[in-house]
Amino acid sequence: WDFTFDKYTSEKTVVKSLFKESQIYIQIICESQESAKVKINWSVRESACWQDYPRYGQSSDYDGFSEDFDNSTIYIVRERDNTEYNCAGIIHLKEMRLKEKIDILPNEVGKETNTEVVFPQQPKENNDESAKQTLNVPHTVSKHPVFKITKDGFYILYIQIQEVNNKEFKAKVHIEMKGKDGYLSAANWPLLPFYGAMCLVYVLLGLTWLVVSFLQWRDLLRIQFWIGGVIFLGMLEMATFYAEYSSFNATGESMKSAVLLAEFVSCGKRTLARMLVIIVSLGFGIVKPRLGPMLHRVVGVGILYFVLAVSESYMRVVRPKNDPTNQFVIATVPLAVLDSAICWWIFISLAQTTRTLRLRRNLVKLSLYRHFTNILIFAVVASVIFMLYSIKAHHLTICFTDWKELWVDDAYWRLLFTVILIVIMILWRPTNNNQRYAFSPLLDNPEDDDEDEEEQFVNDAYGVKMR
């Protein structure tokens, strides 16, 4: 994080989940036209509740910590030195160490008596130049951190720089929080190996589908080309996310353009997957030789979904967590409504397609569509169950403490999508008898289908069974 402090901007807050033995670096370069002196106060607070993250917001302003600790505070470390620093060049902050423990009474913080507040030790000045912090240019990691994390947790760093005599000054502050494994936060770090593993999975799926399709290239169905496109976009999505997480973990700098690229690729994959499921549920290439006017509806829904998904992803990446305008919610609601409408359309179309196959007595295709319907029902049930669990565990709890499980929110949906894709690949895999699933004019004549439906309607109406 990089901030600029002056006479009018004196406070900043940074929040991040950190592993044990992570280190916090604060580097300050101060400039002033006059001989200004500044006081620097900062504190590190561990909070038990993940709800504090949207409260303070990453890189957001905050009024500072009050003297009274709230119920979510585990401990707080404060710089208590009133040293005045000359605002002329690099300012070296002392390293804080935990030393003294003081028990807090229950009526003071509303917690149990075993709650502790830890105050730091002020180390003596070291005259050895080699032991002091060095800062040649901004973004250079200093040799000594200002604080070392003693346990896994969610931490809030607050820093305040004020000029003593109310003079004009300008201070550039660079803050880094680095763990043993890199710059990724403790909550997001599991996503790095997850995306790496998923990237390998999609590479294997792509190679397998490519080889099988090459062996049966004469009899490939158009749906199988769609499946190949979804696999390719999934592989590209996982590779892009893995590259972004790996780069951030190594450098500590996140490029929003790279994150947006990964999100947009994900939107394209989800759009293509939904269009694939829609055309399969409509019976394209299996029950119907062509979609006709329905094709325009499918394309229109696909374009609308892609636009809404891109808008939602852009708001989620660009807007802060504590956005008061609620633009993210405004972008999410239309996407959720459209997703529900697509789900309804899919199951209505599946019911009509399976009814047509029963009338034609095509048991091979009917069995295929029954398996396809079952996997979609499983996907809907699994999605609803996880959404209810997520709402109960993350939003209906007063203090959510299992922040190490938050990465599952992202991983679950991608894993569920992959499982469904694998099942669809198995159902529509290219085989020697590939054409038994294709539309046949002799067996799948729409005119005969209309006659069968009319005959079935008459029989149902009058209760007559034709012999």
Between β-strands 116-121 and 147-148, what pairing exists: parallel, antiparallel or unpaired? unpaired
* pLDDT score, position 200: 94
Please give the class, per CATH, of domain 191-454: mainly alpha
CB neighbours of 448 closer than 8 A, spacing ≥ 6?
360
What would the 3-class secondary structure string for 36-50 be?
CEEEEEEEEEEECCC
At residue 447, the 3 state secondary structure works out as helix
Q: How many CB atoms lie within 10 A of CB 204?
A: 11
Cα–chain center distance at 92: 37
Alpha helices by DSSP H, 391-462 = 407-427, 446-462
- Bridge partner residues of 176 (DSSP): 25
Number of helices (H), then strands (E), in the chain: 10, 12
Structural domain spans, the chain:
2-178, 191-454
* pLDDT score, position 195: 92
CA distances from 43 to 21, 67, 106, 118 (A): 17, 12, 23, 11
Q: Do residues 401 and 53 make contact, with C-beta atoms less than 8 angstroms apart?
A: no
The C-alpha atoms of residue 27 and residue 73 are separated, in whole angstroms, by 26
CB neighbours of 63 closer than 8 A, spacing ≥ 6?
11
Give tens-digit pLDDT for 194-247. 999 999 999 999 999 999 888 877 777 777 888 888 899 899 989 988 988 888
Q: How many CB atoms lie within 10 A of CB 358?
A: 14
CA distances from 260 to 237, 254, 309, 414, 432 (A): 11, 11, 12, 17, 42
Q: Do residues 306 and 265 make contact, with C-beta atoms less than 8 angstroms apart?
A: no
The C-alpha atoms of residue 62 and residue 326 are separated, in whole angstroms, by 20
DSSP symbol at 391: I
* pLDDT means over runs of 10, the chain (467 residues): 73 78 78 74 73 54 46 54 71 64 36 38 36 38 69 78 74 80 82 92 93 80 83 90 87 80 89 88 72 83 92 79 57 85 90 82 79 90 88 72 78 90 86 56 46 41 40
Q: And the tokens for 430? A: 């290219």
Model's pTM, two decimal places?
0.74
